[in-house]
Amino acid sequence: MGLKKNTSELINLINTKIINLDFPETPSLLYQPVKYILGNKGKRLRPILFLHAIQLFSDLKEIHFIPAIGLEIFHNFTLIHDDIMDKADIRRHQPTIHKKWDENVAILSGDAAMILATKQFLSLPEKIFKPVITEFNKMALEICEGQQYDMDFESRQSVSVSEYLEMIRLKTAVFLASALKMGAIAGNATTNQQQQLYEAGINFGLAFQLQDDFLDSFSNLEIFGKKPGGDILEKKKTFLLINAFTKSSEKQKKELSALLDNTQISPDEKITAVKKIYTDLSIDKLTKTAIKDYYTKGFLWLNKINGYQAVKEELISFFQEMQQRIS
């Protein structure tokens, strides 16, 4: 690949650079939590997509890793604040920041993470800095909108499939799409190429979130890492539940509602019973088909793009692996 890097080389470089991030020592309650959550390795999805998008059109430079890590810091900012709002105690097998420290620490270190994320983009050359930060800013606001819709939906009686898809587009898909688009901008791609990558990212992002919904109900405990069925017990309006309500008869709707509210049966019984309704209504198949369709559309967009063939193949493999994920 010459000056190009494959995905595993990128992951290693990203992780090394994150470990070596030079945050101030004090005030330690501001910076320690940011280091803590960044050290808790995630998939590094967004920096990988950003860097691949750059080298799809240009050579990768050392300087490009700085904003790449900015995207990972921004992602972790959203996790810190979302975990407070969702009252989540555990993230990637470790206590969340508001649990390990307290809520004030989580609010303020989250704010600092957001500012530190933007700071990483200052290293970009002036010419591409403004278009990249413009895209970043637009994306950041859309993610907040997605999170607000997600919270709004909790107290809503019902949510339509299209409302749900719009919510996950904002909350999840836009970030993958913008990471790719920002990379394309930084790699001096044409507006058309930028937009093609963005469309690919939206489709892969929607597929990714629907996979999360599917796996939460239908994966195995051993592989999934966390106990499946959490969404069912929380009565979360996922793609599965929304479609189940849409596809069911009046009688089945009442049964499903009663089942979700039933406090007399064990959690495992409830999960088994809801999953039976899902399979009776073919919601599992419907979801699998939707996931496959989004991946197909994503690959169609990706294949259209005129860029370095070796990098394109690397990106295709990356999303193919994502499509196969079982956890």
Long-range CB pairs of 268-277, under 8 A, 24+ apart, other chains included: 268/229, 270/229, 270/232, 270/233, 271/217, 271/228, 271/229, 271/232, 271/233, 274/217, 274/229, 274/232, 275/217, 275/218, 275/229, 275/232, 277/244, 277/248, 277/252
Q: Which is nearer to its own copies, 9 or 89 (CB)?
A: 89
Q: Which is nearer to its own copies, 81 or 275 (CB)?
A: 81
Hey, what are 188's tokens?
Answer: 């001096």
Please identify which residue in 41, 43, 119, 235 interacts with its own copies, judged by CB under 8 A: 119
Please identify which residue in 19, 63, 122, 223 interacts with its own copies, judged by CB under 8 A: 122
Per-residue binding string, its own copies, 25-54, x by CB under 8 A, is --x-xx------------------------
**Residue 145 in the binding site for its own copies (CB under 8 A):** yes
CA 217 to centroid of chain Cα atoms: 18
CB of 29 to its own copies, least distance (A): 6
Strand partners for 94 = 91
Question: In this structure, are residues 100 and 36 in contact, taking their beta carbons and an 8 Å threshold?
Answer: yes
Question: In this structure, are residues 111 and 29 in contact, taking their beta carbons and an 8 Å threshold?
Answer: no
Q: Which helix (H) or strand (E) holds 276?
A: helix 267-280
- Count of CB atoms situated within 10 Å of the CB of 265: 12
From 21-29, 196-204, 219-227, 274-282, give the range in contact with its own copies by CB under 8 A. 21-29
> Helix (H, G, I), strand (E, B), or coil: what is residue 94?
strand
Dihedral Cα 4, 6, 9, 13, nearest 10 deg: 60
CB of 61 to its own copies, least distance (A): 18
Strands of the chain, DSSP E: 90-91, 94-95
Please identify which residue in 13, 37, 49, 140 interacts with its own copies, judged by CB under 8 A: 140
Q: Which is nearer to its own copies, 145 or 212 (CB)?
A: 145
Stretch 55-114 residues interacting with its own copies (CB under 8 A): 81, 84-85, 104, 107-108, 110-112, 114
**Residue 160 in the binding site for its own copies (CB under 8 A):** no
> Helix (H, G, I), strand (E, B), or coil: what is residue 105?
helix
CB of 210 to its own copies, least distance (A): 22
CB of 163 to its own copies, least distance (A): 11
CB of 73 to its own copies, least distance (A): 12
Stretch 185-224 residues interacting with its own copies (CB under 8 A): none
**Residue 234 in the binding site for its own copies (CB under 8 A):** no
User: What is the CB-side half-sphere exposure of residue 49 using CA atoms within 13 A?
Assistant: 28
Residues in the site for its own copies, rule: CB under 8 A?
Answer: 24, 27, 29-30, 81, 84-85, 104, 107-108, 110-112, 114-116, 118-119, 122, 126, 129-130, 133-134, 137, 140-141, 144-145, 147-149, 151-152
